[in-house]
Amino acid sequence: MQVPLIEEAKRLGMSSLVTDMNPACVCALLADKFFPLDIFDIAGHLALADTLVAEGICIRGVLAAGIDAPETMARIAQHLRLPGVRPEIAQLVNHKANFRQRLEALGYPVPRYISFSSAQLDELPALAESIGYPLIIKNTDSSGSRGTRIFRSPNIALMREVAQIAIAVSRSGTALIESCWDGTEHTVETLFDINGYFHPCFITDRHFEKAEGYALETGLRHPSALPQITQDTMYALAHSVAKDLGVTVGAAKFDFMVTEEGPRIIEMTVRLSGGFDSQYLVPAATGKAVLKAAILTAIGQPFHESLLVDSVHRVGVTGSLWPMPGRIVAISGVENASSLPGVEQIFFRCSIGDVVQPYVDCTRRVCFIVATGVDEKDAISHLTRAREAITIHVEQDSQ
């Protein structure tokens, strides 16, 4: 998801300084300068920034797009006196419990929630009774629905198991138990330009499979099929919340649920969306250049509103293949699928020899396919043909 960002920066005549803990990551060879550094290591990034500046490198902007490192981004921007959201805002929205507490104080609707740590696992029955069913257990500051599961009736042993996973993947060492809203889910991407003007960027519909209690995102649809009046209400709510929190520059991205009571905010962050929205799906369906607008904002320059106008007028969808758990021994048909009409991108997260894990969170998808069409039916047809062209051969464990 960082590849288009680097390419856009180069089109704007800039070099890219990229950090990642994995020296063999995809962007290591694409970056003008790459540094093997954990994206959550704030102190390490500040020291690196000082070193680069001392070497005469002019750092013009810092940006997190599609990765959960807005705190690192904000601290570097503040340290170098570059445009960016205040670090305390980035820290707040990156912690689900603290964000809910602030929303509640500001008068916005939030689910009933309780934050807890491993020391409180024995209190789960009482916490669940306090929240009521259906409820959901989730991590407080991680992504990909890891450690997340919906419970519609008591199952304390399983709730304890899920809670332990949620706590383990949360950098804060805590998890959330909260009442479970019911409705459709959507990404709402917005951007405040360098002059503080609010720009609605896009709304994408998110499709989930929740039959087993897991929150598994199975695909996206863009542009949203929601009525325009509902979309306008969501943008207005996003604008209001962002302003009340003090956001004046940069991205404000939200996960929304549209319930019977109206739109509700599930989560917020101050980075661009992941899930291939701003990087591939939205540009393919609409031609919107959200990445370019965000880069220009990060370096303190205005952008023309035409960057956020639909100039393509297609419908885009994403989907995946879901092979049975086991070791991948062969993958075929990808090249053929990639050449089919309407197929925009195919990304594999796994390769031959990798083990497909049970699908308990969104990080375990094997691949992603982006397709477009003149309408939703046409786009889904192209996606279906791509799925049918690809075969993933999995070998089951004989034991």
State pLDDT tens for residues 250-280. 999 999 999 999 999 999 999 999 888 999 9
Residue ranges covered by each domain of the chain: 3-89, 112-179, 182-310, 316-395
Which of 3.20.20.80, 3.40.50.460, 3.10.20.30, 3.30.470.20 would CATH assign to domain 182-310?
3.30.470.20
In this prediction, residue 113 carries a pLDDT of 96
- Mean of pLDDT values over 153-162: 94
Strand 17-20 to 33-36 pairing: parallel
Residues 196-207: what's their mean pLDDT?
98
CATH 3.40.50.20 fits 3-89, yes or no: yes
Q: What is the pLDDT of residue 28?
A: 95
159 alpha-carbon distance from chain centroid: 25
Distance CA 197, CA 82 (A): 18
Query: What is the distance, to the nearest Å, from the Cα of residue 250 to the centroid of all Cα atoms in its chain?
Result: 16
CA-to-CA distance for 282 and 314, rounded, in angstroms? 10
Could you tell me what percent of the chain has a pLDDT over 70? 99
Give every CB contact of residue 35 below 8 A, 6+ residues apart in sequence: 17, 18, 19, 48
Confidence at residue 398, expressed as pLDDT on a 0 to 100 scale: 57
What is the fold, at CATH topology level, of the domain defined by 112-179? Dna Ligase; domain 1 (3.30.1490)
pLDDT reported for residue 144: 67
End-to-end CA distance of the chain: 37
pLDDT at site 221:
98
Token pair, residue 330, equals: 């062969």
- Rounded mean pLDDT, 20-36: 95
* 358-380 average pLDDT score: 93
Distance of CA 4 to the CA centre of its chain: 16
State whether CATH 3.90.180.10 applies to domain 316-395.
Answer: no
Label residue 213 by pLDDT band (50, 70, 90): confident
Average pLDDT over residues 40-49: 97
Cβ atoms 121, 292 nearer than 8 A: no
Distance CA 36, CA 297 (A): 26
- Residue 358 is given by DSSP the state P
